[in-house]
Chain A
Amino acid sequence: DIQMTQSPSSLSASVGDRVTITCRASQSIANFVNWYQQKPGKAPKLLIYAASRLQSGVPSRFTGSGSRTDFSLTISSLQAEDFATYYCQQSYSNPLTFGGGTKVETK
């Protein structure tokens, strides 16, 4: 199975901060990475697919980048509604696997 290692596991930030979350795959996976946001008690929401493509309706402050083994999700200016947990997911090979999550908390 392909392992997805996210870092950090948590971070503290303030509204307006630039936040970057990274995800490393255990093998090369081209651009087969998606990013999800999850708020407590809610379902995950797709933000970014194919490493860098913004899902319809998602604010442009979210950007994804990377290829092969190293990927990142950046929030250019953190908003109050962005405090949540973020997960990467690979779809290069079965089984689908997720990173361990990054919890973005208020400083």
Chain B
Amino acid sequence: EVQLLESGGGLVQPGGSLRLSCAASGFTFSSYAMSWVRQAPGKGLEWVSHITSSSAGTDYADSVKGRFTISRDNSKSMLYLDMSSLKAEDTAVYFCAKRSGGVQYILDSWGQGALVTVSS
């Protein structure tokens, strides 16, 4: 069974930094691309970032580009999101999600989410 478990969320001041982690199990982590998706309180889903299986390629939403960095450690089955210069509008639950194989970008498994609150 695929399991994704986020950690590292919390309260951070505007301008601060935080690292989210996602521990993966139940599948061959090194074979799949991964994404981060966030959800502001009471709002819809927003894709944040993507990384290929080998880390050769990454992509970011314009809203976080230059401030967030996605990375992974395939030897540990871990996905990361380093967030800096945080703003109040980054307050959200952050989900890590696994991309299924194939041509289309389908998020077939999701973690339970980690809450990040940016506030003074």
Contacts and interface: CB of A to CB of B under 8 A. Distances in A.
Contact of B95 (A43, A46, A91): A43
Nearest to B106: A49
Given A43-B95, A94-B59, A49 B104 contact: yes
A61 interface: no
B59 to A, nearest CB: 6
Contacts of B111: 43
Interface string A43-55: 1111001100001
B59 A46 contact: no
Contacts, number: 55
A101 B44 contact: yes
Q: What's the interface size class on A, roughly?
A: 20 to 34
If over half of B's interface residues share one DSSP class (helix, strand or loop), that class is named, otherwise mixed; here it is strand
Interface in A50-102: 50, 55, 87, 89, 91, 94-101
28 contacts: A32-B104, A34-B107, A36-B45, A36-B107, A38-B45, A43-B110, A43-B111, A43-B112, A44-B45, A44-B95, A45-B110, A46-B106, A46-B107, A46-B108, A49-B104, A49-B106, A49-B108, A50-B104, A50-B106, A87-B44, A91-B104, A91-B105, A95-B47, A95-B62, A96-B47, A96-B50, A98-B47, A100-B44
Interface of A: 32, 34, 36, 38, 42-46, 49-50, 55, 87, 89, 91, 94-101
Interface of B: 35, 37, 44-47, 50, 59, 61-62, 95, 100, 104-113
